[in-house]
Amino acid sequence: MPMISKVKSEHYSLMFPDHMMLKHFGETRPSVIQRADKFQKFWDSWSDNQIIMPMEITQLRVHKILQPHMKSLFEWQIRPGMTEATGPGQNITKHMSTDARNHKYMKKALFVRFCDPDLHALARILLS
């Protein structure tokens, strides 16, 4: 079992407030593995409430816009990824297929997911 520091930093307290930890974990100091597992389950279950942003919009900008209105990790999460593009262009890569007619064009994007449709709708307004 990994050793957990008994002193919580101010940054830790901001990211993981006690009331949110108790609500989702039943304790204020779950292990890193427990937190990672829970936040991955959140991400997977929130796929219906997703916005795909172009990489030109930075993660920092998204955080600055959303953080005053909702709690990161517990109510929304952001991850970089790849999404299919319509054709060749700037910042788009070509992915080869065994069938030369089925090349796929991909581009980098930010995926932002929300815990419920109301926050998803609010975020669409805030990020527009």
pLDDT of the chain, 128 residues: tens digit per residue: 455 555 567 888 888 999 999 999 999 989 999 999 999 999 999 999 999 998 889 999 999 999 999 999 999 999 999 888 776 666 666 666 666 666 777 888 999 999 999 999 999 999 99
Residue at token pair 């916005």: 51
Contact indicator for 108, 38 with CB cutoff of 8 Å = no
SS3 content of the chain, % helix, strand, coil (to 5): 40, 25, 40
Q: What is the pLDDT of residue 1?
A: 47
Predicted pLDDT at 55: 83
Pairwise CA distance, residues 67 & 52, whole Å: 18
Q: Provide the residue type at 91 as one letter.
A: N
Residue ranges of domains in the chain = 9-45, 48-128
